[in-house]
A = this chain, B = another copy of it.
């Protein structure tokens, strides 16, 4: 595994835990943790349960004992590590975003396709897909529970930048993070809505804003936290902290999207709602064990949103855990991801989301940025369409 921040903690927990609750064809072993800073690296490896450490991620690629490379670093290093890992025939789990540019993502996707032919598996870490409620939502839509889709509504609301004195972090630096709220959290709702509906976004009209344009300089803190230093110096935020866009799916359906870190009081309100001719589905990650489903075919008078606790044996992943009504937490999405990845590797199948799917997300985000830079005019997400969308 490369990287040991917040994502490293979640991934290593998943690697340690998946085979304790799922019947896996292979049993993961935490081999080597790679990072840049020797001191904190060793402590992290001990805490996370890795046998060895290295400050050269290349060691992982070169180690014949290592089968899987899990990339948990910021987006600017994904390309280099993933390309090397795939070239070396290592299975790759790459955190989202796939890379900081469409171009890099395209190359990574091409490499993943090539590697696939040799049996090398690759997956991008859109872990929210493995929330039981969302996996169940996809299943319901596929079964026709909402009928013909009429509309999509997705929001990812956070508030940790609402405080104008919250300090700079690498996530607010375009060079490191590539994008702001759009790329970091907007990416999830783009992926989820495409995955749940089974449709592809083909054009967008968007607006980006940096609501708080400067922030106190932080130390070297990596992660979500960090504390401003005492000097009073403020640095420019070089990414958006609010992204609004309208998307058109290839069926013609419109979706409204919002990714923000200005929504005071909303802590991790990743919301997805699908409205169809026969019903609707609504989800909010702040209540991740619940899915709301509306059935327009129910008898008149009996219609309403049904709050389903997705902890029943019938719900994806849930049978591996606790009795009904005993909820799961955030990290379970990662544990499910590892269970599915290890199963795929063992069975010789390709896990999802593939790099192709992650590239499509990347293209949507890039089109939003382009549109936002051109007065919100519609932009195609199709790489062969360079002109303004005609829709």
Q: Which residues of A contact B (CB under 8 A)?
A: 6, 9-10, 12-13, 16-17, 19-21, 47-49, 136, 146, 150-151, 153, 155, 158-160, 162-164, 205, 207, 209, 211, 224, 242, 244, 246, 254, 256, 258, 260, 262-269, 273, 275-280, 285-289, 293-294, 296, 298, 300-309, 311-315, 321-332, 375-378, 388-389
Residues of B contacting A306 in the complex (Cβ-Cβ under 8 angstroms): 298, 302-307
| A/B interface sample: 6 pairs, CB < 8 A | A16-B20, A136-B301, A209-B254, A244-B254, A304-B309, A326-B329
A367 to B48, CA, bound (A): 48
A325-B158 in contact (CB<8A): yes
The one of B160, B294, B300 in contact with A264, judged by C-beta atoms closer than 8 angstroms, is B294
Residues of B contacting A325 in the complex (Cβ-Cβ under 8 angstroms): 158, 266-269, 285-286
B286-A376 in contact (CB<8A): no
A260-B6 in contact (CB<8A): no
Residues of B contacting A10 in the complex (Cβ-Cβ under 8 angstroms): 322
Rounded to whole Å, the gap between the CB of A290 and the closest CB of chain B is 8
B256-A280 in contact (CB<8A): no
Rounded to whole Å, the gap between the CB of A149 and the closest CB of chain B is 10
Residues of B contacting A267 in the complex (Cβ-Cβ under 8 angstroms): 309, 311, 324-325
Given A304-B307, A388-B375, check contact A162 B277 (CB 8 Å).
Answer: yes
Residues of B contacting A294 in the complex (Cβ-Cβ under 8 angstroms): 264-265
B254-A265 in contact (CB<8A): no
A301-B312 in contact (CB<8A): yes
Residues of B contacting A322 in the complex (Cβ-Cβ under 8 angstroms): 6, 10, 329-331
A264-B277 in contact (CB<8A): yes
Residues of B contacting A280 in the complex (Cβ-Cβ under 8 angstroms): 263-266
Closest 8 CB pairs of A and B: A267-B325, A268-B325, A265-B294, A301-B314, A329-B329, A326-B330, A304-B308, A205-B376
B277-A254 in contact (CB<8A): no
Q: Which residue of B lies closest to A258 (CB)?
A: B256
Rounded to whole Å, the gap between the CB of A311 and the closest CB of chain B is 7
The one of B20, B136, B268 in contact with A324, judged by C-beta atoms closer than 8 angstroms, is B268
B308-A302 in contact (CB<8A): yes
Residues of B contacting A269 in the complex (Cβ-Cβ under 8 angstroms): 325
The one of B48, B244, B264, B293 in contact with A302, judged by C-beta atoms closer than 8 angstroms, is B293
Residues of B contacting A256 in the complex (Cβ-Cβ under 8 angstroms): 244, 256, 258
Rounded to whole Å, the gap between the CB of A84 and the closest CB of chain B is 29
Given A207-B254, A260-B151, A277-B264, check contact A296 B162 (CB 8 Å).
Answer: yes
A160 to B326, CA, bound (A): 13
B162-A262 in contact (CB<8A): no
